[in-house]
Structure 1
Amino acid sequence: MTEHSYSLTTQPAGPRARLSALALACRLAPFALLLAPGAGFAQQTDDPLVLDPVDVTAERAAVPNVTERSDSYTIGATSTATRLDLAPRETPQTAITLTREQLEDFNLTNATSALQAAGVNVQRVETDRTYYSVRGFDVSNFQIDGIGLPFSSEEQLGDIDTFLYDHIEVLKGANGLTANPGNPAATVNFVRKRPTRDFQAEAALSYGSWDTVRGELDVSGPLDEAGRIRGRVLAVQQDGDSYLDRYSLEKTVFSAMLEADLNDRNTALFGYSEQRNRPNGIMWGALSVYDSEGDPIDYSRSKSFAPDWAYWDTKDKQAFAELTSWLGGGWQSRVSLNYREISSDAEQFLAYGVPDADTGAGLFTYASKYDRIERQLLGDAYLKGPFQLFGRTHEAVVGTNWSRSTTRWSSYDDAFNIPLPAGFDGDYPRPDFDNGLTSGADYTTYRRSVYGAGHFSVTDRLKLILGANHTRLDSSGYQTGDEHSYAESKTTPYAGVTYDFGGHYSAYASYTKIFSPQHLLGADLTLLDPIEGDSVEGGVKGEWFEGRLNASAGVFRTEQENTPEYGGFDSGAGVSYYNTVDAISKGYELTLAGQITDNWEASAGFTHLFSLEDKEGRTVRTYVPRNYLYVASTYQVPQVRGLEVGGSLIWQDDTSREQGATAAGETIVTRQDAYAVVNAMASYDIDEHFNVALNVNNLFDEEYYTSLYWEQTYYAAPRNATVTLTWAY
C-alpha cells in the first residue's frame, strides 16, 4: 500500500515530520472541538462556529515500500510497470514481489534460487551462465532501482547476490514503457536496500553442505544528531566447494551508501557496490548426455568434464547517485545517474561430441582464454504527481533516460579437436594459449528514450493507464570480425485498464508492443534481426486485509517474431550462434501472496501454457515447461514462541530437446521427466537479538537436469543443508 504523509502547516514540512503531525492532529481534533467556545451540545448560540483555516498538504514518502523487517510476503506498491506507485491490484499485469522476509526465510542468496521462487523458469546451462524464461520466452529486461541494464551479461546475472536488495519485483509480460527495449517475458527489478533513519545492524554466519561458509554484515543509521545524514554499509564473504567434481566458489560483495536531506524538499543519495566471483573448476558447456545410438548416458550427479585449472572470474562494480525532490502538491522528481563496469577473465575447457555407444570414445577438446569488459553509463530523470481534470484527480509521469554501453571481448583459443579417452574425467593439462587472437568484439550501443504515462480515474471504480515510449537505439563496431551495427527508432504504446467490483476485486487488461534489437549472432555470425511483436493480458485481481493478501488470475497471448533459439557452437569463431523462430505463446497464470492468517504467510503461483507454437502451428521451444508451479509458505507456531517452520515447492512438467539423428536416421530426443523439488526451513528466535535457522534444499533428493536449453546439460544439486546464526539490533 502506497504510504501517504501529511502536514498541518502553512509551510512545507520535511518528510519525517508529516506523518506524526497528521497522527497528532487526528487524535486531538475531537477534544479541540469539544473545548472550543460554543462547541458543546449543552450550549446553543446564534453565532456560527468559525475555525481558523487549516492548510493540508500531501506528499509521497521518498521510499514508500520497504520490505525488510516487515514480516510480509507482499508489498504495498510497485512502480516497475509505469513508474507510478501502483498497488498490486492497480497494476494491469501479473506482478510478483520477493520480499526481504521471503529471501531470508528460504536462504535465497542469489538470483538463480530467488527467481525460481517467483515463477521464473531457470535454465542453468553451465555452472556460471544462466538464462531465465517466463511464459515461454527468455527474460532480457533487468533493472536496478527501476533503471534498465542494457544488454547485461547473463553469466553475471546468473549469480548476482541478493543481500544488497530490499526486494525483487518481477513484472510478467511485455513492458515497453519504462524498460525499453521491450521484451515479452518479464521485467526483473532489483530494488536496493537504503540508509535508514533509525540505527539498525545485523550480522549472520552460516555453514552449509560442501563446507560452504558465508558471513554477512549490514549496518545502517543516522550519521548526525538530527538524522539528516544517513549511511549504510553491507558486506558478504562466501567460500565453499560443490557437489560437482573440482568446482568451488569464492564470492565477495560490498556496498556503501550515503543519503542526505539537503533541505526539507531535496534528498540526495550516493553509493557504490561491488561483487567479485572467483569460481574454479567451472563448466564451459556441460555433459554430452546421449551416445551414438541416441541412448541417454548415465552419469553420477557430481560428474563434470571441467579440469581443475578452469576458472571464470567476474567483477561487477556500480557507482550511483540520485536526487529526489518533493515539489509540493504531491509532485516528485528524481534524477539518477549510474555507472556499471562488468569485467571477466576466464580460462575455459569444452569437451564436446557424441560418445560411441560401444567404445565410449568420441569426445574432443576445445580450450579458450577469454577476457571481457562491459562499461555502462545510464541516466534517468522523471517527474510524477497528481493533477485535476474534469473534477477528478489523476496521476501522470513523464521522463527520459539514456545509456551508453561499450562491450569489448577477446578469445585466445587452444587445444583444438584433440580426441579424449573413453570415460574422460576432467583430467587435462592446461594449454599455453599462445596461438594468438582467435576472435573478439568491440562495439558501443546508445539508447535514448522519452516516455510518459497517465493513470486516469475515469470513475471511482474505473481506472485507465495510457502511455508510450519512444526510443532510438544505435550500435556500431564489430563482433567476431563482422560489422556489429544498427540504427533503430521505435515507439511502443502501453494501455491498461482496471475496474473495481465487489469491494475486494478488480478486473484488468493491458496491451503493449514489443521491440528489442539483439546482440546475439546467427549461424552466419551476423546480428539477428530485432525482436518484434505484441502482448495482451487480462484477468481478475483480489485484495484482502487492507492489502496484506493479494491474488490474481490472468490469461495472456504474446506473439513474437525473431525469437532466438540456441543453435550450437561455432568452433572456428569460438562463439555460440542462434536460430530464430516466430512464436506465439498463449496461457494463463494464477498467483497468491501475503498474510493468510496472523501466523501464516504464503507466496504461490501457477503458469500454464495452452500452446507455444510458430505461425504454422508447429510446437517450438520444447525445452520450456508448459506447466510451472511454485509455492512457499511459513507458519509461526503459537505454542512455541519464536518458532517458525515452512516449506517451498518448485514443480514443472516434462520437457524435451531434439538432438539430431543417429546413423540409422532415427531422431535423438533428450527428455526430462516432470519433477518436484521440495525445500524446508525452521527458524527459532533465541531472544530478541539472536536467531538460528536451518534450511534444507531438495529435501527428497530429486535427480533432474538443470536445463535442456543447450544440447549439453548436467545434474542439479542433491539434498543439501545450511545452518545460520543471525544477530539483529
Structure 2
Amino acid sequence: MRHAHRSPAALRRVLFTGASLAALLIAAHAQAADAPVTLPKIAVTGEAVSAETEGTGSYTSPAATLFGKLPVSVKEIPGSVSVITRQVMDDWNMVTLQDALSQATGVTAIPNDGTQAQYNSRSYGMNVMFNGIPSYNALSGSQQFDLSVYDRVEVLRGTAGMLTGTDPNPGGTVNLVTKRARKTFGASATASYGSWNNTRGVADVTGPLTADGSLRARAVVSSQHNNYFYDHASGDRKLAYGTLEYDVTPDTTLSVTAVVQRDRASPFYGIPVYSNLVIPNTPRSFNPVAPWAKNVTDTYEQDIGLEHRFDNGWVAKAQARWWERKFRFNDGYASSAINPATDTISYSKRDTTYNYVRQNLDVFLGGPFTLFGQTHNAVVGYNRERYLSNNAGGSSPVLTNIPLFGIENSRAWEEPVIPATSGGKSETFQEGGYAQLRLKVADPVTLVGGGRLAYFTTKSRNAPPSRPTNWTDGARRHGEFVPYGGVIVDATKEVALYASVAQIFIPQTTTDYTGKTLDPRYGTQYETGVKGSFLDGRLNASLAVFQIEDTNRAYADSAHPGYYLQLGEVRSRGVDAEVTGSPLPGVELTAGYSYLFNTYVKDATSQGVNFSNWFPKHSVKLLAMHRIQEGPLEGFNYGAGVTAVTRTGGNGSNASLVQDAYALVNAQVGYTFSENLSVSLTGNNLFDEKYFAALGRSSNTYNTYGTPRNVMLALTAKM
C-alpha cells in the first residue's frame, strides 16, 4: 500500500513549489536593471524587531513569529494577533495554558477533565504550533507543558491554513514559544501557596558556559501539588526543561532542547443533569467521579535546531522535533442523565492506555530583498509531521440504578480490575511546502501573499488485544493548495489599515450515494481592520471585523438515507478589539472585547439556528497592573482583572441548558523589597460568582462549575 510519506513524487512537488518561488525572486533581481539590487542587513520589513518578551516588563509585544517564521511587527500582520507576554504570566500567576488562553481576546477555554481543556475562537477550535512548527490536532483535549518554560503565547484568531495546511479546527492558531538560553547569568525562584493546599515551586537558571558566551544553557524545573475545589481530587505535576545553544560560528547557532513532564491527577467531568435537562442543585464541590480514578501522563520532548544568519539579512533554519506521551485514564463516571423519578444514573468504569508519538521536521529560508527602491520580504519552507497513536483498554459492565446522591455508598465506588479487551493503532501524516511574500509596492502599501501546497493522509487498524486487521485508509488529500492574501495600508506612522482573505481545508470521510468521498470542507475567512502602535510602541491597539464561511459541510441526502451531499454551510461573524501595553508610566494593561454570531446557513435539520451556543455573543477581558514608582508607597503594586461574558449554553438536544451572563473579578497587591525580592497576593473570583465553565456539552458529563473564590501568595527571588 502506498502512503504519502513514502511518495517521492509528492515530495518533489512540494520542494518544486518552494524552489519555483526562489527562482522567481532571483529572476526579479536580475531583471531590475534600472534599480540596483542590494540585500540590507535587516530581519524584517522596516526596522529589525524582536519578538521575545522576557525581561521587557511589558504586557504587549512589538512583534510575533507565528505568521511568517521570522519576527514581524504585529502592526504589519493583516490579521488579529494577541501576544500573552512573560510579564502577564508572571504577574497573574498563570501556570497552565488554560490560565493564559482564558485571558486571550476572543478565546473561550472550556475545561474537559480538570487537567486540560477545549480552546475555541470565532466559533471553532484552534490549532497549535510549537516554536513555529505546526502539530496536527494537538491543542484541545491534550495536556500541555507548564507555562514556566514559555517566553510567550502567540494567538492568531481565525483561519490560516497557510501556517498549518489542514486541521479540524479553523478557529485560529496558538504558537507556544519556549525560553532561550542567555549569554548573561540570571536566576530566579518562586515559591507559592494558595487555596486547596496549592503548593508550587519554580526555579529558572540561565547563563554562559564559556567565557565568550558562545555556549550557553538554561534549565527550568517546577513542581506543583494541589487539591481541587471538588471532592476527593488532587493533582501533582513535575517538569524539567533544559536547553543548550552553541554558536558554531558567529552566524551559525546549534540548539538542543529537552523537556519532561509527569502529571498525576484525579479527573473531573462535571455533574450529570436530569433527563429533562434540569440542573441538579448540588454544591460546587460535588464530584460523582470515583475517588480511585486517575489520569497518569508522562510527556517527553526533544528538539534540535540549526540556524544560519547570512550577511544580507537572510536566515536559514532547520528544526527537528520528537515528542512522546504515555497516557492512562482509569475512571468511573456517570454515563447517563439522571432519572428524575428515582435520582439514579448509569455508571461506567474503564481503564485505557494510549501512547502517542510525533515526529516533526521544519526547514525554511527567509529574509529581505530590495527591488525598485523598496525593501520586501520572502519566506520559503517545507515541513512534515508523522503522528502515531496506539491504544489498548477495556471497560466493566455498565452499572444501572446507581443513586446519584449517596453514590459514595454504592457499587459505583468499588474499584474493579479491568483487563484490556480491545486495541487500535492510527497514523496521520502531513507535509507541505509553504511560501510567503511581503511586497512593499509603495511607501504606504504592503501586499502579503502566500500559500501552502499540502498533503495529508490518515490510516488506522485494530491491534492486540483486538484481533489485528489490515490498515484502512481514512481522510486523505494530495496536492491541496491553501492560499492567503492581504493588504496593509499605512494611514499614518502609527496607524495601519488592512484586509485579508485566508483559507483552511478539512478532509472528510463521508460519501455520497455513488461511493465518492466528499471533497474537503473549506473554512474561508474575510477580515478587515485597523491597527495602531503608539507611544514608541509601548501601547498597541487593534479593531477587526471578520466573517468565516465554512462550506462543503456534509449534508444528509434525503433521497439516499445514510449518504451525504456537500451542501452544508455555516457562517461565523464578529468583531474583535484589543488594547495592550502601557498607556501611562507604571501602568500595564491588556484589554479585549469580542462580539460573535454564528448560524447554520445550509443544513438538513438546523438551518437558520445558532451553530454553537457554547461561546458568548459578547465577552470582555481586562488585566491591569499599576506599579508605584515614587512617593511613600514606592515599591507597591496593585492590579485588577475582569472577565465578563453574556449568556451561554448547549447545542442540539441540550439547547435548553443555559446560563445567564456573569462576571469574574480578580485583584492583586504586591511589594518589591529590592530588585532581588518581591511578594504578591492574588485573589481570583473575589465575589465568589457561581457559574459553569462548561455547560450543555452533554447531559451526563462536562457540566462543570467554574472555580470558586481562591487566593495565592507568591514570593520571588532573583539574581
Whether the TM-score (by the shorter chain) exceeds 0.5 is yes
Say which of 273, 282, 286 aligns to 2:270: 286
Instruction: Tell me the amino acid that sits aligned with residue 287 of structure 1.
Output: I
Deviation digits for residues 563-622 of structure 1 (CA, Å, limit 9, x no counterpart) = 799xxxxxxxxxxxxxx9732101111111111111111111111024433334322212
Deviation digits for residues 273-293 of structure 1 (CA, Å, limit 9, x no counterpart) = 01111002x22x43112x244
Say which of 625, 631, 641 aligns to 1:634: 625
Deviation digits for residues 338-361 of structure 1 (CA, Å, limit 9, x no counterpart) = 000012011011213232334312
SS at structure 1 position matched to 2:142: helix
Q: Is the 8 A contact 2:649 2:695 kept in 1?
A: yes
The answer on 1:215 being equivalent to 2:204 is no
Alignment partners' CA distance in 1, 2:124 and 2:377 = 32
Q: Is the 8 A contact 1:412 1:433 kept in 2?
A: no
Distance 1:676 1:160, change over 3 A: farther
Q: Is the 8 A contact 2:49 2:72 kept in 1?
A: no
Q: CA RMSD of the aligned region, Å? A: 2.6
Q: Is the 8 A contact 2:125 2:140 kept in 1?
A: no
Q: Is the 8 A contact 1:306 1:426 kept in 2?
A: no
Q: What residue is the counterpart of 1:457 in the other structure?
A: 440
Alignment partners' CA distance in 2, 1:268 and 1:588 = 42
Instruction: Tell me the amino acid that sits aligned with residue 310 of structure 1.
Output: A
Alignment partners' CA distance in 1, 2:129 and 2:574 = 26
Q: What residue is the counterpart of 1:148 in the other structure?
A: 134
Q: What residue is the counterpart of 1:485 in the other structure?
A: 474
Say which of 373, 381, 401 aligns to 1:399: 381
The within-5 A match list for 1:314-329 is: 314-329=297-312
Q: Is the 8 A contact 1:505 1:542 kept in 2?
A: yes
The answer on 1:341 being equivalent to 2:332 is no
Alignment partners' CA distance in 2, 1:351 and 1:160 = 29
Say which of 649, 668, 671 aligns to 1:684: 671
Q: Is the 8 A contact 1:614 1:620 kept in 2?
A: no
SS at structure 1 position matched to 2:63: coil
Alignment partners' CA distance in 1, 2:250 and 2:387 = 36
User: 1:297 offset after TM fit, Å?
Assistant: 1.1
Deviation digits for residues 623-652 of structure 1 (CA, Å, limit 9, x no counterpart) = 221112111111112332221111111111
User: 1:431 offset after TM fit, Å?
Assistant: 4.3
SS at structure 2 position matched to 1:328: coil
Alignment partners' CA distance in 2, 1:564 and 1:248 = 42
Deviation digits for residues 212-258 of structure 1 (CA, Å, limit 9, x no counterpart) = 11000000000011111000000000001111101100000110111
Alignment partners' CA distance in 2, 1:716 and 1:581 = 35
Q: What residue is the counterpart of 1:5 in the other structure?
A: none
SS at structure 2 position matched to 1:104: helix
SS at structure 2 position matched to 1:485: strand
Alignment partners' CA distance in 2, 1:646 and 1:682 = 6
Deviation digits for residues 348-402 of structure 1 (CA, Å, limit 9, x no counterpart) = 11213232334312x0111110101110000000001111222322110000001
Distance 1:265 1:510, change over 3 A: same
Q: What residue is the counterpart of 1:651 in the other structure?
A: 644
Q: Is the 8 A contact 2:448 2:486 kept in 1?
A: yes
Instruction: Tell me the amino acid that sits aligned with residue 449 of structure 1.
Output: G
The answer on 1:582 being equivalent to 2:566 is no
The within-5 A match list for 1:17-166 is: 58-60=41-43, 64-119=50-105, 120-139=107-126, 141-152=127-138, 154-157=140-143, 160-166=145-151
Q: Is the 8 A contact 2:109 2:117 kept in 1?
A: yes
Q: What residue is the counterpart of 1:258 in the other structure?
A: 244
Q: What residue is the counterpart of 1:187 in the other structure?
A: 173
Instruction: Tell me the amino acid that sits aligned with residue 417 of structure 1.
Output: L
Say which of 378, 384, 387 aligns to 2:366: 384
Q: Is the 8 A contact 1:509 1:538 kept in 2?
A: yes
SS at structure 1 position matched to 2:41: strand
Q: What residue is the counterpart of 2:288 in the other structure?
A: 305
Alignment partners' CA distance in 1, 2:455 and 2:370 = 32
Distance 1:56 1:320, change over 3 A: closer
Deviation digits for residues 499-547 of structure 1 (CA, Å, limit 9, x no counterpart) = 00133211001111121347999xxxxx998542211110111110121
Across the two proteins, how many residue pairs are aligned to each other? 644
Q: What residue is the counterpart of 1:504 in the other structure?
A: 494
Deviation digits for residues 92-116 of structure 1 (CA, Å, limit 9, x no counterpart) = 0010000000001111110111101
User: Which is further off, 184-193 or 79-88?
Assistant: 79-88
User: 1:426 offset after TM fit, Å?
Assistant: 4.5
Q: Is the 8 A contact 2:323 2:357 kept in 1?
A: yes
User: Which is further off, 599-608 or 176-185?
Assistant: 176-185
Distance 1:642 1:425, change over 3 A: farther
Instruction: Tell me the amino acid that sits aligned with residue 689 of structure 1.
Output: N
Structure whose alpha-carbon radius of gyration is higher: 1
Alignment partners' CA distance in 2, 1:517 and 1:239 = 41
Structure 2, unmatched stretches of 5+, are 1-37, 512-516, 556-566
Alignment partners' CA distance in 1, 2:209 and 2:655 = 65
The within-5 A match list for 1:214-233 is: 214-233=200-219
Alignment partners' CA distance in 1, 2:258 and 2:600 = 44
Q: Is the 8 A contact 2:43 2:367 kept in 1?
A: no
The within-5 A match list for 1:417-428 is: 417-426=399-408, 428=412
Q: What residue is the counterpart of 1:34 in the other structure?
A: none
Say which of 304, 317, 330 aligns to 2:313: 330
Say which of 472, 476, 493 aligns to 2:459: 476
Distance 1:596 1:528, change over 3 A: farther
Structure 1, unmatched stretches of 5+, are 1-54, 522-526, 566-579, 661-666
Alignment partners' CA distance in 1, 2:461 and 2:474 = 8
Say which of 273, 279, 287 aligns to 1:296: 279
Alignment partners' CA distance in 2, 1:518 and 1:715 = 35
Q: Is the 8 A contact 2:542 2:578 kept in 1?
A: yes
Alignment partners' CA distance in 2, 1:707 and 1:422 = 20
Instruction: Tell me the amino acid that sits aligned with residue 718 of structure 2.
Output: A
The answer on 1:710 being equivalent to 2:694 is no
The within-5 A match list for 1:563-578 is: none
Distance 1:424 1:516, change over 3 A: farther
Q: Is the 8 A contact 1:269 1:322 kept in 2?
A: yes
Distance 1:687 1:610, change over 3 A: same
Alignment partners' CA distance in 2, 1:337 and 1:668 = 45
Q: Is the 8 A contact 1:59 1:326 kept in 2?
A: no
Among all aligned residue pairs of Structure 1 and Structure 2, give the percentage whose two residues are the same amino acid.
Answer: 28
Q: What residue is the counterpart of 1:50 in the other structure?
A: none
Q: What residue is the counterpart of 2:659 in the other structure?
A: 672
Q: Is the 8 A contact 1:643 1:682 kept in 2?
A: yes
Distance 1:517 1:728, change over 3 A: farther
Instruction: Tell me the amino acid that sits aligned with residue 599 of structure 1.
Output: G
Q: Is the 8 A contact 1:693 1:724 kept in 2?
A: yes
SS at structure 2 position matched to 1:178: helix
SS at structure 1 position matched to 2:536: coil
Distance 1:484 1:211, change over 3 A: farther
Deviation digits for residues 102-143 of structure 1 (CA, Å, limit 9, x no counterpart) = 00111111011110111210111322341111111111x111
Q: Is the 8 A contact 1:294 1:668 kept in 2?
A: no
| TM-score of the superposed pair, with normalisation by structure 1 | 0.84
Q: Is the 8 A contact 1:659 1:670 kept in 2?
A: no
Instruction: Tell me the amino acid that sits aligned with residue 487 of structure 1.
Output: R
